[in-house]
Amino acid sequence: MAGNSSSDALGLQSATALLEMLAARSVSSVELLDHFIERNVLLGDEINAIVSLDLERASELARASDQRRAKKQVGGILDGLPMTIKDAIAVEGLRSTGGAVELAEHVPSKDAEAVAKIKAVGGIVFGKTNLPRWSGDIQAFNEIFGTTNNPWNLKCGPGGSSGGASAAVATGLTPWEVGTDIGGSVRLPAHFAGVCGHKPSYGVVPQLGYIDHVSYGVSDADINVFGPLAKTVDDLELLFDVVSGTRRDIQSGWQLDLPSSRGPAKDLRVASWLDDADCPVSEAVSNVLETAISAIEADGVAVNRSARPDVAFNDVRSVGLPLISAATSPGRTEEELDALRQVVDDPSSDESIRMRAKSSTMSHRDWLLLTEQRDKNRHLWSKFFEGFDVLLAPVAFVSAFEHQHEGTLYTRTLSVDGQTRPYSDLIIWTSQFGYVYLPSTVVPVGWTDDGLPVGIQVVGPYLGDRTTLVFARYLENLLGGYRIPPIANI
């Protein structure tokens, strides 16, 4: 972890460093919790990342952890570490809304399975972080809690949907976070806020307790995953290890045993796909990514810049985005669904909006046919990763952009390099790999000339999470990784 400051504030340390301090008893759990609360008081109004708190119970758990450590009776590898959880994930006894007014006062009676895993090894959940309604945007704002700001530029958002999570991690309001990702909701915020994020292979982290519609909690959403955000790749892997594993209801017959990395980082076979005519990358982002690839090559790692899978890039528009729209459709109200059906019947409707409408209201037969095409593409990706171990790609075609609250995902636009671009294209580079279930680790690799962070995706074969994490750690060490936003030096 690199920094642009010599600040030694506890909140700006990595989670791994804080756990070492707890183990050495150079800091107590109570002191850590108090520190994070104080930082949230000082920065909360400007950032607005943590939106619900459970301080009484967190304080009680922190005191109990300190007593255990005094008796050398550590309760687990995270014992006494305070942290927050995205508000799309159920936490027992703590308001969990999904960003939706229908659940504005909802308090779950049980934890999401991933949260239960964290608590079982001593983690202390003291708050929830902001997001858009039902995690359905690339910004973090909703009618209940308002807008989360990017610590690098308060006029911009920190990404979405796990935007409160990325902003809180970047500014040291929490040591790390668990977010969700269906179209890029871990990876995009990591890129926009300058932190690390890992989107696991689909199915390796239990997602029961994901609040994506009112009657949530009894089934897994297609494509969606739970994944960590943190300051360092070491932190990502530690938290990933805690939350990954089989669901409770199948543990009697199934266990997760992810393969080790395919090798040391510098021995891996690396390809890069840094631009595509279907979704051109801005000059500012492209410059940072090209500099990063040149640094990798100068360090002795060969990068194949032309290798591509036999999957058409724009399949993400005809297969990936429709599957994502279908997976998010349970959050639509009946009124919204009626309106979408009218759009389907209107041939004059905008093409992107009509695609969304068709996907949200499609028949089961149509969904199965799309899934068949998805499975064909998964086989083609598997074939690609027989010849390569990781693929480096953009996270988004731009860096952080100014807040946009009017319109929707499919009606907003962005002005980039003198051109008007569809706002919905923000999820093209992330959805490209998400709908086919591949793991992807994001790490900061540089900053634009106007001071905004840029991340890169390290994509690997299905279940190749260890490999993407190993190469992301190499990039972090080579290029510096996380930096402290100036606003966080308090």
Q: Write out the catalytic residue numbers.
A: 86, 161, 185
Task: Check: CB of residue 291 under 8 Å from CB of residue 297.
Answer: no
Query: Which residues, listed in sequence order, are joined to residue 50 by a DSSP beta bridge?
Result: 129
Rounded to an integer, what distance in angstroms lies between the CA atom of residue 464 and that of residue 460?
6
Annotate 215-245 with DSSP letters as a single string: T-SSSPPSS-EEEEEESSHHHHHHHHHHH-S
Which tokens sit at 402? 């100014």
Residue type, 130: N
Strands 82-86 and 124-129: parallel
The answer for residues whose C-beta is within 8 angstroms of residue 51's C-beta and 6 or more apart is 87, 127, 128, 129, 130, 144, 145, 164
Task: Check: CB of residue 144 under 8 Å from CB of residue 161.
Answer: no
Rounded to an integer, what distance in angstroms lies between the CA atom of residue 100 and that of residue 87?
10
- Helical (H) or strand (E) element with 326: helix 321-328
**Integer CA distances (angstroms), 307 to 167, 397, 458, in order:** 35, 20, 15
Place of tokens 């902001």: 130
Rounded to an integer, what distance in angstroms lies between the CA atom of residue 204 and that of residue 242?
11
Count of CB atoms within 10 A of residue 489's CB? 15
Count of CB atoms within 10 A of residue 56's CB? 9
Hey, which bits of 213-360 come out as E strands? 225-230, 270-272, 303-304
Annotate 270-323 with DSSP letters as a single string: EEE----TTSPPPHHHHHHHHHHHHHHHHTT--EESS---SS-TTHIIIIIHHH
Task: Check: CB of residue 465 under 8 Å from CB of residue 439.
Answer: yes
> Interhelix angle for 334-344 vs 351-360, to 10°?
120
Rounded to an integer, what distance in angstroms lies between the CA atom of residue 90 and that of residue 113?
9
Task: Check: CB of residue 435 under 8 Å from CB of residue 323.
Answer: yes
Rounded to an integer, what distance in angstroms lies between the CA atom of residue 188 and that of residue 442?
9
The answer for residues whose C-beta is within 8 angstroms of residue 91's C-beta and 6 or more apart is 54, 85, 108, 111, 112, 115, 125, 128
Instruction: State whether residue 336 is helix, strand or coil.
Output: helix
